[in-house]
Structure formats: C-alpha cells, structure tokens
Amino acid sequence: MFRNQYDTDVTTWSPTGRLFQVEYAMEAVKQGSAAIGLRSRTHVVLACVNKAQSELSSHQRKIFKVDDHIGVAIAGLTADGRVLSRYMRSESINHAFTYESPLPVGRLVVHLADKAQVCTQRSWKRPYGVGLLVGGLDESGAHLYYNCPSGNYFEYQAFAIGSRSQAAKTYLERRFESFGDSSKEDLIKDAILAVRETLQGETLKSSLCTVAVLGVGEPFNFLDQETIQKVIDTFEKVAEEEEGEGGEGEAEAAAAPPAAEQGDQDVAPMEM
Amino acid sequence: MVKQNANWSPYDNNGGTCVAIAGSDYCVIAADTRMSTGYSILSRDYSKIHKLADKAVLSSSGFQADVKALQKVLKSRHLIYQHQHNKQMSCPAMAQLLSNTLYFKRFFPYYAFNVLGGLDEEGKGCVFTYDAVGSYEKVGYSAQGSGSTLIMPFLDNQLKSPSPLLLPAQDSNTPLSEAEAVDLVKTVFASATERDIYTGDSLEIMVLKADGVKTELMALRKD
C-alpha cells in the first residue's frame, strides 16, 4: 500500500472501491503488540504480550474488564482501545441498570461495530486504530469476537491480532478443533503457548505476558504471575527433560528436588 | 369545574425501621422486614438492607420504590468507580456519594430515610445518617423510619458519651462489644414493635467486620 490521491480522507472512495484510510487504520492494528483469544464452550481466555516503551517504563494495559462476564484484549492504538473499553463498560452498566440482567456479548459487539462504522463515514472523524478481541458470555455460552476499525466483526473459536500474530494463528489453526471441549487449564496452556509463538525465540517469562480468564460461573479475572509461571514451567521443563517421564506433573516434581539439593544442602529434601 | 385538590401523590410510605451501631472493629446494621402501605401489610419478609460495597451497607426506610431506584443508581456508580480505581469504594466515599445522589434530586426527592453502616479505611466501625435530601453526619449510632422516635432516645440513653462539662467528671463509655451491640439492637426492636404498628414481623441483623459479613434473622411480633 503506497500513498495515492485517494487516501487523504476517509470519505473518499478509490476507483477500485476501497477506503484507504480504513485500511491504514487496520495497519495500525498490525503494528501493535500481539493479543490472543481462545474459547471453549464455557470459557474464554485472553492473553497478550506486555510491551513497554523502554526498559524504564511500565508496560501498557491491553486487557480490560468490561463486566464480570465480558473482557476485551486490544492491539493497536491503546489510547483508542482505552476509550472504547470505557464505552463498553458504560453500555454494560446501562443495560444491567435497565434490564437487571447482563448484557449479552453479541449485542455489545454490534454496538461497538456500529460505533466504528460511524467513523468511516464522517469527514471530521478518523477510524479507531485498534482491533478488539471481545470475549464474553451470553445465554448459549462463551463467545469470542474480533472487532476491526472497519466496523466489521466476526466470531472466532480462536484468533490472534497484532505484530507476529501469524505465528500464533498458525499454532491455533492446528489446535482449534479441540478447544470447544477443552478444560479451563488446557485453554490457558494453549493461550500461553500461542503467546510464545509470537515471541519467536525470546524466552517466555511470566512477566512478558498477561492472561485473563472468564467463564460460566467464573467472573472475569486476571491470572497472577505465579500461576502463569507455573504453566510456563510445565512445558518448559518437559522440553528440558531428557527422559520422557510422561505427564507434566511428574516432570515438574522431578525437576524440583535436584534444584533444592543443589541450592541448599542443609534443607531437608522435599521428596522422599 | 371546581379545581380539585391533588389526591394523587407520587409518594407512599412503606413503613419500617432501620438502626445501625458502630463498634471499634465492627458495625451492626439492622432493619425490620415488614413492608406496609396505609394500614395493610404488603410483605412480612422484605429486606431493607442492601450491601453496596465490601465495607458499606445501606439500610433505608420510606418509599421502597424510591429506595430500590436509589440502590440501583448507587450500584451502577460503584461499578464505574471500581473500573476507574481498581478497588472497592470505602464507606466514607460511599457516604459522600449517597449524599450527592440524594441532593441531585433536591426538587423531587427520593423518599428514603437512610442509614449507611460500614468500616472506615482504618477498619473502625462507622455509621452515617441522612435525611431525604442528603444532609448527612457521621455518628456512632442512628435509627431512621417509623420506629425511630421510639428507638433513638433509648440509644442516646445507653450509648451517648457523657458531656465533658459535667461535674463530677464522668468518663466516656467503655467500648461496646459486638455481642452487646447485637443484644441492644434486638432489645430496641422488640420494644419498638410493641408500640409502632409499622414495625414487626422479623428483624434482620447484619454484622460487618473486616473478614466478612454475617446475617441473623430474629422473629418479632406479627400483630
């Protein structure tokens, strides 16, 4: 995509029927750090890579709680994402106030998409430069949607957006058919493995990723660093173990005692 | 056509009484469960106590439709606060919010007589008492509603600190234990039930402490 005479404002069509400003907005999403979402019949897991401006600063928040039963992960212009999250929270609260019941996620994404469409048809506005992975519940169970700057939205079993998301998508494409009946723990493991794919070689540490879960009977919550690190340890240790001891639990237990013995000779061994 | 006086009122009084007592590390909030209109009873087990936040519990008597609407508004505002600040509202913060919400409708008030009880930021019990348009005060104990005129003087007798001007000097009250406070609440409601026709059926007592909340139900006279 190169500069041309039809890309100055969003209200100009190109002769080939394209709105370049909208397409440029979608490019902004591809520049953001990766965000991944997957769902089973009852749970949705959202994960993202923590990117910081510099070593001195903290990383930006890319996963937001919208309500107990809806969460959103963003990629692109995080400021736009923050504002849209506030809009989603407001819609959710107003719906609950009027109808005394939680806003079905399918309705919310339509509101979001309509809001995004407005910005593609006003000369004094610009499209939102953020892609949103909206995970939530309605009466039929868990759902994952992707909202683009164009005003389109799609439902997914699993999806990844942002930079190097293709690697994660390839991983998810291989595994998505089993997600529907996955347990929550397996879903989390797949999410973190998908995040690892986007890092392409960089060692996966719990400080590099943020993971959030929501499901039927489980309100939206972030996983703490310890839990994430434990999941990472299960598959990192399995990779290191020479003898295939089979079963992630055994691998973890086998790895722990040698470390203890080496670390502190005075402490009694943990395993008998 | 003679001008008729308005015989329709947007308000009704559903009766009932609410009490709250603050302790050193607890707060007791209690209300009867009778809901009435005129001389009729609408319900014998309607709860007038509503938890707004982890450390703030609201009890309101008056027009229950307005009370319900008020609770909904406060609940939504609390959700917004939690999204913005990533934590629950403290009791003093909720107290101010309630006052502002009530005054917002200064010229068509919520017909609600509120008592807000909870734990402050230091973990000490606190009670805030309101009028219908939001004037509020932090107090150690309060009663609102149809039985308040019967209960308040007795609570003053038992709980009010002696004046520092008295001679000979009387020391201030020993702190009230949780069991003593609950017992006092049961006593005042039993007495109020005797003489206030709008108070009775059963008594709901909520005790709020740092580790959580406990609810107890006690039978009252049903006549």
Evaluate whether residue A243 is within a structural domain.
Answer: no
Q: Mean pLDDT over residues A141-163, rounded? A: 96
Q: Tell me, what's the pLDDT at A260?
A: 37
**CB contacts < 8 A (A, B):** 13
Residues 11-70 of B with CB under 8 A from A: none
Evaluate whether residue A248 is within a structural domain.
Answer: no
Q: Mean pLDDT over residues B92-99, rounded? A: 98
* Chain B residues near residue A89 by CB distance under 8 angstroms: 79-80, 83
Quick one: angle between helices A78-99 and A105-118, nearest 10? 130
- Whether A164 has a pLDDT exceeding 60, the answer reads yes
Q: Tell me, what's the pLDDT at A249?
A: 41
* Chain B residues near residue A90 by CB distance under 8 angstroms: 80
| A51 or A143, which is more confident | A143
Q: Are strands A43-49 and A35-39 parallel, antiparallel or unpaired?
A: antiparallel
* Chain A residues near residue B87 by CB distance under 8 angstroms: none
Residues 196-215 of B with CB under 8 A from A: none
Domain that holds residue B179: 17-220
User: Residue B92 and residue B102: Cα distance in Å, rounded?
Assistant: 15
Q: Tell me, what's the pLDDT at A241?
A: 61
The CATH number for B181's domain is: 3.60.20.10
CB contact under 8 A, B80 and A97: no
Q: Tell me, what's the pLDDT at A206?
A: 86
- Whether A264 has a pLDDT exceeding 60, the answer reads no
Virtual torsion, Cα A139, A143, A148, A152, nearest 10 deg: -50
Q: Mean pLDDT over residues B162-171, rounded? A: 79
Instruction: Write out the DSSP string of A197-244.
Output: HHHTTSPP-GGGEEEEEEETTEEEEEPPHHHHHHHHHHHHHHHH-SS-
- Whether B188 has a pLDDT exceeding 90, the answer reads yes
Q: Which of B144, B146, B130, B200 is nearest to B15 (CA)?
A: B146
pLDDT band for B62, please (50, 70, 90 cuts): very high
Evaluate whether residue B209 is within a structural domain.
Answer: yes
Q: Is the pTM of this model over 0.90?
A: no
pLDDT digit string (tens) for A92-131?
A: 999 999 999 999 999 999 999 999 999 999 999 999 999 9
Where are the extended beta strands (E) located within chain A? 35-39, 43-49, 63-67, 70-76, 130-138, 141-147, 153-156, 158-161, 209-215, 218-222
Number of folded domains that form chain B: 1
Evaluate whether residue B8 is within a structural domain.
Answer: no
Q: Tell me, what's the pLDDT at A56?
A: 87
CB contact under 8 A, B76 and A96: yes
How close is the nearest chain B Cα to the Cα of A269, in Å? 37
Q: Does residue B72 sit at the A interface (CB-CB below 8 Å)? A: yes
- Whether A267 has a pLDDT exceeding 70, the answer reads no
Number of folded domains that form chain A: 1
User: Residue A142 and residue B56: Cα distance in Å, rounded?
Assistant: 33
User: Residue B147 and residue A151: Cα distance in Å, rounded?
Assistant: 58
Domain that holds residue A169: 20-237
How close is the nearest chain B Cα to the Cα of A93, in Å? 6
How close is the nearest chain A Cα to the Cα of B74, in Å? 11
Contact yes or no for A113/A153 (Cβ under 8 A) = yes
- Whether A245 has a pLDDT exceeding 60, the answer reads no
pLDDT digit string (tens) for B147-161?
A: 999 999 999 999 988
User: Residue B71 and residue B48: Cα distance in Å, rounded?
Assistant: 11
pLDDT digit string (tens) for A127-145?
A: 999 999 999 999 999 999 9
Residues 75-114 of B with CB under 8 A from A: 76, 79-80, 83
Separation of first and last alpha carbons in chain A: 64
Q: Tell me, what's the pLDDT at A52?
A: 79
pLDDT digit string (tens) for A202-244?
A: 888 888 899 999 999 999 999 999 999 999 998 877 666 644 4
Number of residues that make up chain A: 272
Q: What is the DSSP letter of B152?
A: H
The CATH number for A82's domain is: 3.60.20.10
Task: Tokens 């609770």: give the residue.
Answer: B71
Q: Tell me, what's the pLDDT at B61?
A: 97
Evaluate whether residue B112 is within a structural domain.
Answer: yes
pLDDT digit string (tens) for B11-59?
A: 999 999 999 999 999 999 999 999 999 999 999 999 999 999 999 999 9
- Whether A250 has a pLDDT exceeding 60, the answer reads no
* Chain A residues near residue B79 by CB distance under 8 angstroms: 89, 93
